[in-house]
Chain A
Amino acid sequence: MRGRNMRIALGLAGLIGLAGCSQSAREPGDFAIEDAWARAAAEDAPVSAGYARIENRGGDDRLVSASTPVAAEAQIHSVTMEDGVMRMRETEGGLSLPGGETVELRPGGYHIMLMQPNRALAEGEHIPITLTFERAAPVTVDFIIRPIGADR
């Protein structure tokens, strides 16, 4: 009886161990991308910015680049505010997306800067932005256009 209990306990421990293993070796590519939006832009406007909440349900990954048919180039930027001075920089090596965590691109933090949109971006329309990751396959997400001054 005691031996059987021991075997069950060992088996359970093994299962838990296996679960732990699969946890740490999760496959990339399981993203839930929500609340994706970008700023409205006038005709010939030089820039827009895209934001989203990226939940990484898979293993550690990085957002390394982005592209969209509506802009000449897209860069992943961070914004910091220190002593009243705003600084914007391209993230080096992209944006880290740790497995099991949610990273939010939002005003005053990270954004995807859309450089030289090739047309006006009107409130309410959707634009596709393709996100390229270090490990996972690229994903194309619909971003809704919100007012230029939206803060979320």
Chain B
Amino acid sequence: MSGERNRGLRRGLILCAALLAGLLGYLCLPPYEQPETVLDESIASIGGPFELLGTDGDAFGSAELRGRPFAIFFGFTHCPDVCPTTLSRLASLRQEMGEGGDAFDIVFVTVDPARDTPGDMARYLSLFHTPIIGLTGSEAQIEAVKEEFGIYAEQVPLGNGAYTVDHTATVFLMDEEGNFFSALDVHDRNEDAIARLRRLIDG
């Protein structure tokens, strides 16, 4: 009788210990962090094959970018501030580089495929006075390319049914094989950005 009770007690203690260990383990886990954008060990895995739609509405795959390095930036056409400023900065860096400035492509991928049709992308990009490859696609295609590049994007309402999209605004520099080379940040000085672009095109 008492042996049975002891066994029950022991079982209870073991269960408690297991629960405690589980709780401790959970507490010791690193806290959840927002998906990293750059500068961690996942950096080498940034990029990968994708299938999207060009501004003409035709399929555009990552294979079409092979052979030339490119700077790729994710945004959306309803973005009034950071997206046009970043695209325009890439255009002016290209211009400042002079010779060789046209040796890399500028690629703009929407994180808002529900609103950005190929036509919208074409009209938007036509204002930048420099060739920019605009890409949209189905929700699934955009999800896939976002994952390849580790892009965080989340819709946030602005009232009256309008919304904005919080998103990773880092520019990734990819080599002619489509592998990650480096990144540009809004805070980079122009000469640093140009030096990095030169290293990119010099391979």
Contact = CB atoms under 8 A, between A and B. Distances in A.
Interface string A27-43: 00000000000011111
Nearest to A84: B37
A129 to B, nearest CB: 14
Nearest to A78: B81
Given A73-B160, A81-B169, A85-B37, A45 B123 contact: yes
A26 B80 CA distance: 35
B168 A44 contact: no
B78 A47 contact: yes
A81 B75 CA distance: 14
Query: Which range holds the interface residue count of chain B?
Result: 35 or more
Query: What is the interface of chain B mostly: helix, strand, loop, or mixed?
Result: mixed
Contacts of A40: 127
B32 to A, nearest CB: 14
A147 B130 CA distance: 13
A114 B79 CA distance: 11
Contacts of A73: 160, 162
A47 B123 contact: no
Contacts of A7: none
Main secondary structure of the interface of A (DSSP, over half): strand
Given A45-B124, A85-B152, A39 B166 contact: no
A47 B79 contact: yes
A111 B37 contact: no
A108 B187 CA distance: 11
A90 B162 CA distance: 12
Contacts of B37: 83-85
Interface stretch (B50-58, B84-92, B134-142): B84-92
Contacts of A44: 120, 123
A77 B82 CA distance: 12
Nearest to A110: B81
A42 B81 contact: no
Nearest to A72: B160
Interface of A: 39-49, 73, 75, 77, 79, 81, 83-90, 107-108, 111, 113-115, 147-151
